[in-house]
Amino acid sequence: MVLVFGVGFVFLGVGSGGLDLGSLIRDTFGAKGGGGGKSISAAQKEVSTHPRDPKAYKDLADALERKGRADEAISALEQYTTLAPKDTMQLARLGRLQYAQADNAAVDANAAYAEQQTAFAGSTFGPSPSSKLGQALGQDPITQAVSTKVSTRVQEATTKYSTASSKAIATFQKLAKLQPGQDSYFNLAQAAEHFRNDKVALAAYRSLLKVEKDPGTRARIRAKIASLRPAVKKGGG
């Protein structure tokens, strides 16, 4: 098993000045400081008192994000966008947070996998587990405990990556449907390509090509489409 999660890609530079989803993500987390808004406890109380009020969940997401509790902020925003599904600003915010959550999980998974390989390496130089000596000695309990713990970390981080990346793409798809246009198609295409969903990326780039006017950018979009088409065809998409 080899874990390789892509955590970067080349932006097209769509339109005048281009779009940079990465900078949008950094802006989201860079804005978590500041002292305005409700406290987490006050926002939680408001949610408990008014569980069907979208604003209560947004206030909670704001409070949690200010404290750097991104995973919890995502949960609150997911509740908010369920109650207020046409708020494109908060959908975009949710997508950016989910995107960053997936990238962080990918980093954790790769680090855990590397640690797992190191733990396994220690047993490589001992007797084979299938040999009589290996069976007699058994597995070192410390190595076994470390291996089990790290394997759990790999599984948890991998699952978190898969869930968060799928949710990010789904959120950008909702945004593109609600607010069709250059920005939303581009962000969807880039997120889908980043998370290796070639079928969604291809469809988004095709939609982007229909609205993009700049000749140079159109040429780059066509190149993207050409590079993605074989992978989608191979996968049966």
Domains and CATH numbers, the chain: 21-234 (1.25.40.10)
pLDDT of amino acid 131: 62
pLDDT band at 139 (very low <50, low <70, confident <90, very high): low
Cα first-last separation, the chain? 25
In 3D space, the residue among 230, 215, 196 whose CA is nearest the CA of residue 4 turns out to be: 196
| 209 neighbors 222 (Cβ within 8 angstroms) | yes
Over the chain, what is the mean pLDDT? 81
Residue 34: CB atoms within 10 Å:
8
pLDDT in tens, 189-229: 999 999 999 999 999 999 999 999 999 999 999 999 999 99
| pLDDT surpasses 80 at 233 | yes
Provide the residue type at 74 as one letter: I
* pLDDT score of 7 more than 50: no
Kindly report the pTM of this predicted structure.
0.77
Rg (CA), the chain: 22
Outline where DSSP puts E strands in 80-227.
none
CB 214 within 8 A of CB 12: no
Longest Cα pair distance anywhere in the chain, in angstroms?
A: 72
